[in-house]
Amino acid sequence: MIKDRLAEVNENIEKAAKISGRTREDITLVAVSKTVENDQIIELNDLGIKDFGENRVQDLEVKMHQIDRDINWHYIGPLQTNKVKFLTGKVKLIQSLDRQRLANTINNLSKREGIITDVLVDINIGEEESKIGYMKDEVEKALEKLSKLENIRIKGLMSMAPYVEEGKEEDNRKYFIEMKEIFDKYKNIKSGNMDFEILSMGMTADYHIAIEEGSNMVRVGSGIFGKRIYN
Ligand SMILES: *Cc1c(COP(=O)(O)O)cnc(C)c1O
């Protein structure tokens, strides 16, 4: 089951990559394992998937502890400053950096631990009340301030397109195009801690569209593990 779904996802990624002049290898697949049992994570890891995403600190902590594997964990959910200490030095990438205070906390803890923590700046591209992330018109000022923090490294941007009904995913293409424009604006700027390489966008419903428009990291959950009952 998982094996078949993974094969299908890989095929779709390859197709979309080709359309945008790239190959499968140019796209990182992050398997979103929230609510998923450990044995399924292990099964997928055995199939060659190394990157896994979680959106709750406590769940991630338990899984990191229980699954003794060489896995790149990605934190993709809302993050309280008092929980940052559970992530620094343990996760590969914090994808949901959405405010200065959180950045300061990650920076300070990283400094104390003598490490540099890789982050993505989260953009609320659909300007939705219900979502975290910087608004488009805040990005420039935010990056200017964030880029001065010496113990974080800004690896790029992440975004989650608005929820749309099944069959209406094309409505979100414009947001992926906008994200790519913002990404391109900063990708050659190497001042301070800026090191743009990653544009993380696309989930089960829309990763094909996101890749066509330039995403190089997709976060796919239900498309691999099957439908979730809760989030
Ligand atoms: C749950 C989640 C995903 C994956 O969603 P699917 O629709 O299951 O692919 C991707 N990104 C974030 C931030 C999520 O919370």
Ligand 1: residues within 6 Å at CB? 32, 34, 55, 76-77, 160, 203-205, 219-223
If you take atom 7 of ligand 1, which residue's CA is the nearest one? 204
- What's residue 192's pLDDT? 92
- What's residue 10's pLDDT? 98
Which residues have C-beta within 8 Å of that of residue 148, sequence separation ≥ 6? 192, 193
The verdict on pTM exceeding 0.95 is: yes
Cα-to-centroid distance, 229 and ligand 1 (Å): 13
Neighbouring CB atoms inside 10 A of 218's CB total 26
Q: Is the pLDDT of residue 55 over 70?
A: yes
- What's residue 231's pLDDT? 62
Mean pLDDT, residues 29-46: 97
User: What is the total residue count of the chain?
Assistant: 231
If you take atom 13 of ligand 1, which residue's CA is the nearest one? 76
Query: Of 169, 219, 220, 222, which is best to mutate to test ligand 1, by the most ligand atoms within 8 angstroms of its C-beta?
Result: 219
Q: β-strands 72-75, 93-97: how paired?
A: parallel
SS3 category, 218: strand
- What's residue 200's pLDDT? 99
- What's residue 112's pLDDT? 98
Give dist(CA 139, CA 134) in Å, integer. 6
Give dist(CA 120, CA 96) in Å, integer. 6
- What's residue 230's pLDDT? 66
If you take atom 11 of ligand 1, which residue's CA is the nearest one? 219
The rounded mean pLDDT for the chain is: 97
Cα-to-centroid distance, 220 and ligand 1 (Å): 6
pLDDT in tens, 63-112: 999 999 999 999 999 999 999 999 999 999 999 999 999 999 999 999 99
pLDDT in tens, 124-157: 999 999 999 999 999 999 999 999 999 999 999 9
Q: Is the pLDDT of residue 168 over 90?
A: yes
If you take atom 12 of ligand 1, which residue's CA is the nearest one? 76
**Which atom of ligand 1 is nearest the CA belonging to 222?**
8
Cα-to-centroid distance, 145 and ligand 1 (Å): 28
- What's residue 207's pLDDT? 98
